[in-house]
Amino acid sequence: MTEYDRVPYPTHSLRQAQPDRLATIATLFGMEPPPVERCRVLELGCGEGANATAMAFHAPGSEIVGIDISTAAIARARVAAEALGLSNVTFRHVDIMDLSLEAAPFDYIIAHGVYSWVEAPVRDRLLAICRALLGPHGVAFVSYNTLPGYHVAGMLREMMLFHVRGTEDPRKPLQLLAVLLGTQIRRHLGPGGIRARSGWGISRGRDRGRDGPGSCAPARPRLRAPARSPRPDPPR
């Protein structure tokens, strides 16, 4: 059982990790990416599969495969795909380390919110999968945390890791984060502005679609209109 089994990590469809966005960028870079209406996509660390499910829904002619090490996440992904009646998406409970490099090539390989959270051998394997399984015109999307955007999230993560050293309970960092955010930071971002994640990263809830998990773009200040004093009665 992984910590992602013990603490559910809600996934969302991410526009930066959808084939149409990747194909557009690849074209701008002079590549000839495979057609997004009929493509084969592999998503590594797909979690609950919201991103892969959205792809499958919008491109019925494509074949999508999502893999994840969390049994619970894969089970939820399958339930959602079945509820939508999707037959072009498959979710497999597989460790990245065990994925065969012999599979048929994929046109798009996506790994969002994974690379920065796994050990070096898994990172190496992830890149080896891209090298081995990407078709000739294929596009790989591998996101990772980087400075300066990751600075605030990284700082909070370091604080949490310090306070939970020696404990195996994944709920501890979440409780600690709630305390940390409950007073100062939350007040500035507003309710739901930052969400704790089982991967011990954080993301800004409202802008997740733009920045993705673990990223930390500067918060927009929330301006509050000053309380109005009642209007004086007009002169009679």
- Chain residues that interact with ligand SAM, rule: CB under 6 A: 2, 4, 9, 11, 45-47, 67-70, 73, 95-97, 112-114, 117-118, 122, 199, 213
Give the H/E segment covering residue 7: none
**40 vs 112, which CB is nearer to ligand SAM?**
112
Tokens of 215: 């990223």
* 65, 92 Cβ separation under 8 angstroms: yes
Residue nearest to ligand SAM (CB): 45
Beta-sheet strand order (sheet of 134-142): 89-93, 63-68, 40-44, 106-111, 134-142
Spatial distance between the Cα atoms of 164 and 168, rounded to a whole number of angstroms: 8
**114 vs 177, which CB is nearer to ligand SAM?**
114
* 162, 156 Cβ separation under 8 angstroms: no
Find the shortest distance in angstroms from Cβ 113 to ligand SAM: 3
**34 vs 201, which CB is nearer to ligand SAM?**
201
Find the shortest distance in angstroms from Cβ 8 to ligand SAM: 10
Find the shortest distance in angstroms from Cβ 102 to ligand SAM: 18
Find the shortest distance in angstroms from Cβ 20 to ligand SAM: 18
Find the shortest distance in angstroms from Cβ 32 to ligand SAM: 27
- DSSP letter for 17, please: G
Find the shortest distance in angstroms from Cβ 133 to ligand SAM: 15
**109 vs 114, which CB is nearer to ligand SAM?**
114
- Please name the amino acid found at residue 120: A
How many CB atoms lie under 10 A from the CB of residue 231? 6
**37 vs 124, which CB is nearer to ligand SAM?**
124
**82 vs 95, which CB is nearer to ligand SAM?**
95
Secondary structure E strands in the chain: 40-44, 63-68, 89-93, 106-111, 134-142, 194-196, 202-204
